[in-house]
Structure 1
Amino acid sequence: MFRFIADEWQRLWRDKWLLASITWVPILLAVSLWWIFSQGIARALPIAVVDHQQSRLSHELVRYLDASETLHVSTHFQSEYDAKRALSGSDIYAYVVIPRDFDRDIFLSNPPQVSVFYNSQYILVGKLVNSSVLRSVGTFDAKIQTAKKLASGNSTIKSALGKAVTVRTQITPLFNSNSNYAQFLVSAIVPAVWQIVIVVGTVLTLAMHKRLGTMDKWLEQGVVGAMTKTLACYIPIYWALGVGFLLWFYAYLQWPMQGGYAVLIFAQFATVLACTLVGAVFFFMTFDAARALSFAGAFTAPGFAFMGITFPVTDMGTLAQGWRSLLPISHYIEAQVSQVSYGASTLQTLGFLVPMLGYLVLLLVLAKLAPKKIKGALA
């Protein structure tokens, strides 16, 4: 067996494209993705202000906006047209318009309308800008109302503040409490890339054996057995990538981990097996590397979108939920979240892996399909 593994890894070493695809390329991709989101929390997003009032009160509102950790008032424009051009050119993420009668409406207790325009194509940035502006304007409004109550007399600062802000809220995030985007996105994007690497790597491995002519001997040895031995040589590589990413996130970078590693490492092993079976089926469906890679890419590309990390699964359409259930990484990510965020029991986490037993059906498909394709190629 050791001789067989050594021979297979020698073939891998000679195939530089396959070697790169399952070793340093996924590592480089993972590091690049982490670097992109390494800041973790979005701060000082540039916004502009169009202040038609130019008064002490309007300038104070601008200071409240600029005081937010998320926002930075980088530019002042004289017109909405100039501000819109800057927004379209991605120079700013939003602009705030303060109306001309801002002061008069405040003194007459007629709430002025402060308008905010932002590019909703940047969904995450748009949410941050929206919530930060609302928070800043809310604080400014509370100060104005408190000052009015105090000016009317017969009020203490505490009672005036109580009348200005009748209901106080305390919103406490239980998971990802510091709203770190690196922990939120990278810990899901990297497993999605990992799934693509395994499926594509399996297709390229089988294509290599077809090109070298070693598949001809599989008919004598038993196709399923020979194919299983061959692909098993690559499982440690894929598994090591997964475990490496896991330890990098939660041991080296010290991202919060509420559960344990053992059950997740087992879940990764199950995911590697499932992805390998999927890749093998795609190859023998077409028995052509280019077409198989096209199928593999189309199948695995929506992996991140269908995970349920950035968009709730319950709101997905029937087609999306069906596609999601076919992706091995969707079941793995549920196990990962259950351990990392919730600290679930081992039994609960293993429950998310039960649907992966369905991938064993692909062994029956391969037992019928692979010998037929290999014989057809020899005929």
Structure 2
Amino acid sequence: MKPMFRIAKREVGLLLNSKTLFVFAVILPFVSFLFFSSLLKVGVARNLPIAVIDLDNSAISRNVISQLDATPELQISHTLINQQEGESLIRQGEIYGLVTIQKDFEADLKNGKQVTILNQYNNNVLLPGGLEFKAFSKVIGTISAQIYIQKQLVKGVSFQQAVINYQPVSLENHVLSNPYTNYSYYLNSGFLAYFFQIIIILTTIYCFGSDLKYIKGNQLLRISNGKLSPILLGKILPYTIWFFFVGLIMYYTMFVWQDFPLNGSKIALLIGLILLIISSQCFGLLFLSLSNSFREALTIGSGFAAISLSFSGITFPIFSMPLVLKWISQIFPFTHFFKLFMEQSQQGFPVYYSFKTIIVLMLLCALPIIFFWKKLTKLFIKGEFNHRI
């Protein structure tokens, strides 16, 4: 045990004296927590700017405009008279939608004709484009119902019957998780843990790779009496403890500071956090053992960590991926951690539903060790990388 503690003490000293390592392990986690917590602090998009063109200028057209402006998602920022100007503002990104009410809108409605309100929006930006379309559809649906029911009342139909005539099939939606459509609950959960994983992988590669870059592998082997395990435990344990503490702060920013829903098991979330840290460290060591240089190890590690977001299901659902990509997504610890996190925080699944995910995370901690042990041992015996770049 003495060699391990001696190496651990040495590593703590290196952490406090190395500016690069200190920034990686200590500064960056809290900067990322602060950044993403501030970026999506509101959680729900509000007051998206849109423009309107009212060619009718009637009581009903003004009512349509006022109802659009009254929705929490939309804010009428421009009142225009020119269609080309509105389309230009959409292309420039100054507005997210352009609503045009045609001439004789009120007169055609009173004569029983079907009228059209033109809605143009930019769906290249999926979130605001989707919200604009949803809010517009809701307002137009409400106004259409009001007009229809009013006509039915004039004919002597009861209000209840008029409502049934307009919508014979009613909708009853039950949102099982995130009923507030708070994007912070979903996106921040992923982004905070995603950057946390990147920091762990790169810190692990840096703390081991710097010794090999400066030909100190043999020195560590002498301290550990020629054994790899005291080196691994001594160098990695201080960071494991530190990152667990940082992870608890990450959870605090989510569940206390930002009031994320927590409907499942706290123990399962803590287990998931520990397994994410250990598996990320093990993958960092795997990339180190496969690399010919310090720079190559950092490149492979950062690339692996970066693409893990695409395979986690945050940006695109895993079940819709091609079969090959579905299998590839399973090698990323972040994929399983995020699944476990969502199950236990927002969806409130019983813990036994997450047992499979926990077991997979455990395997992703063990399998890299099997692959890197011999290669890393040879690397430390040599004392340096094949290439000093």
| TM-score of Structure 1 vs Structure 2, range by shorter chain | over 0.9
1:136 equivalent to 2:139? Answer: yes
Q: Counterparts in 2 of 1:160-239, with a 5 A limit? A: 160-220=162-222, 221-239=226-244
What SS class does the counterpart of residue 78 from structure 2 fall into? Answer: strand
TM norm structure 2 = 0.90
The whole-number CA distance in structure 1 between the counterparts of 2:256 and 2:242 is: 20
Task: State the 1:79 CA deviation.
Answer: 1.8
316 and 105 in structure 1: CA distance in 2 versus 1, 3 angstrom threshold: farther
Preserved CA contact (<8 Å) 1:44 1:70: yes
Note if contact 1:40-1:180 (Cα within 8 Å) is conserved in structure 2.
yes
Residue among 259, 262, 274 paired with 2:264: 259
Distance 1:35 1:252, change over 3 A: closer
Residues 1:241 and 2:246 are matched in the alignment: yes
Superimposed CA distance per residue, residues 85-111 of structure 1 (whole angstroms, 9 cap, x where no aligned partner): 111122111111222343344234332
Root-mean-square deviation (Å): 2.1
Does residue 68 (structure 1) correspond to residue 71 (structure 2)? The answer is yes
1:234-287, CA deviations, whole angstroms, 9 ceiling, x for partnerless residues? 111122222221122113433221122222111211111111111111122114
Once residues 165 and 60 of structure 1 are traced to their aligned partners in structure 2, the CA distance between those partners, rounded to angstroms, is 23
> What amino acid is aligned across from residue 175 of structure 2 in structure 1?
P
Question: Share of identical aligned residues, percent?
Answer: 21
- Taking the aligned partners of 2:268 and 2:163, their CA distance within structure 1 comes to 52
Residue number in structure 1 paired with 2:157 = 155
The farther-off stretch of 63-72 and 222-231 is 222-231
Distance 1:253 1:81 in 2: 42
Question: Helix, strand or coil: the match of 2:311?
Answer: helix
1:79 corresponding residue in structure 2: 82
Aligned with residue 45 of structure 1, among 44, 48, 57: 48
| Runs (5+) with no aligned partner, structure 1 | none
Flag the 1:364–1:2 CA change in 2: closer, same or farther, 3 A.
Answer: closer
Match of residue 7 from structure 1: 10
- How far residue 146 of structure 1 moved from its aligned partner, in angstroms, is 1.5
Q: 1:54 aligns with which of 54, 57, 61?
A: 57
- Look up the match of 2:130: 127
Other structure's SS at 1:233 match: helix
Q: For 1:259 and 1:131, how far apart are their aligned partners in 2?
A: 31
Out of 26, 33, 38, the residue aligned to residue 30 of structure 1 is 33
Worse-matched range after superposition: 321-330 or 109-118: 109-118
Note the alpha carbon deviations across 1:92-150, whole angstroms, 9 max, x for none: 11111222343344234332222211111211111111111110000011111112222
Q: Name which of 376, 379, 386 aligns with 1:370.
A: 376
Q: Write out the 4+ residue segments of structure 1 that deviate beyond 6 Å after TM superposition.
A: none
The alignment's TM-score, normalised by the length of structure 1, stands at 0.93
Separation of aligned partners in 2, 1:303 and 1:273: 16
Q: 1:114 aligns with which of 117, 128, 141?
A: 117
* Residue equivalent to 1:348: 353
Instruction: Give the residue type in structure 2 aligned to 1:372.
Output: K
Q: What is the identity, as a one-letter code, of the residue corresponding to 2:258?
A: L
